Amino acid sequence: MASEDDAVKKAMIVDARARNISHNVRCTECGSQSIEDSQADIAILLRKLIRDEIGAGKSDKEIYKKLEDEFGETVLYTPKFDMQTAALWLSPVLIAAAAAGGWAYKKHKQKTNVHIMALDLVRGVSLTPKEKETMLDILTPPPSQGARTPFWWRR
């Protein structure tokens, strides 16, 4: 009884490993399906090859390596990180960084533009020197830490 249970458990483990590997391998005939989902002849043969390799005691990495050696890197759904695929892996990070930089620049410009517009309004109005000094004190933003004040803010 115990040996039957062990055999069933071992078969279930082999089946789970084979399905996991098969989900990560692209069908070379279909291209858009994994070999687990495909019914193409090559997919059926590859599933059998994976089960045979598992039965022979190979690790998952060894099986992936064998498939990659025989069919090329495109057979795997997860490409390696190397110089050829660096742009593929890093492009989402670079796009997010560019978007964040653009957003921060836009926010900075909006804040600065409000002060410039207010100063332009004050420049067109005839004010006494005391009123002009008061308005410039109110409308001039405080200087940022360590940054120089732009020439149009200086008096």
Both 115 and 61 in one domain: the answer is no
> What is the per-residue pLDDT for 13?
87
Both 70 and 22 in one domain: the answer is yes
Task: Kindly report the pTM of this predicted structure.
Answer: 0.52
> What is the per-residue pLDDT for 132?
76
Both 101 and 146 in one domain: the answer is yes
> What is the per-residue pLDDT for 155?
54
What is the average pLDDT value for the chain, to the nearest integer? 81
> What is the per-residue pLDDT for 101?
92
Question: Which residue ranges of the chain lie beneath pLDDT 70?
Answer: 1-2, 110-117, 119-120, 122-123, 141-155
Q: Which residue segment(s) compose the domain that 29 sits in?
A: 2-75
The DSSP call for residue 33 is: S
Q: Is residue 81 part of a domain?
A: no
Check which CATH number belongs to the domain holding 33 and give it. 1.10.8.640
Q: Is residue 80 part of a domain?
A: no
* Residue that terminates a domain, selected from 52, 75, 98: 75
Both 112 and 63 in one domain: the answer is no
Residue found by looking up tokens 């089960």 in the block: 51
Counting the structural domains of the chain, the total is 2
Q: Is residue 126 part of a domain?
A: yes
- In this structure, which long-range contacts are made by residues 70-79, counting pairs with CB atoms below 8 Å and at least 24 apart in sequence? 71/28, 74/26, 75/25, 75/26, 75/28, 76/24, 76/25, 76/26, 77/24, 77/25, 77/26, 77/34, 78/24
> What is the per-residue pLDDT for 151?
61
* Residue that terminates a domain, selected from 55, 75, 95: 75
> What is the per-residue pLDDT for 114?
64
* Residue that terminates a domain, selected from 75, 101, 133: 75
Both 7 and 55 in one domain: the answer is yes
Of 29, 44, 37, the residue nearest 75 (C-alpha)? 29
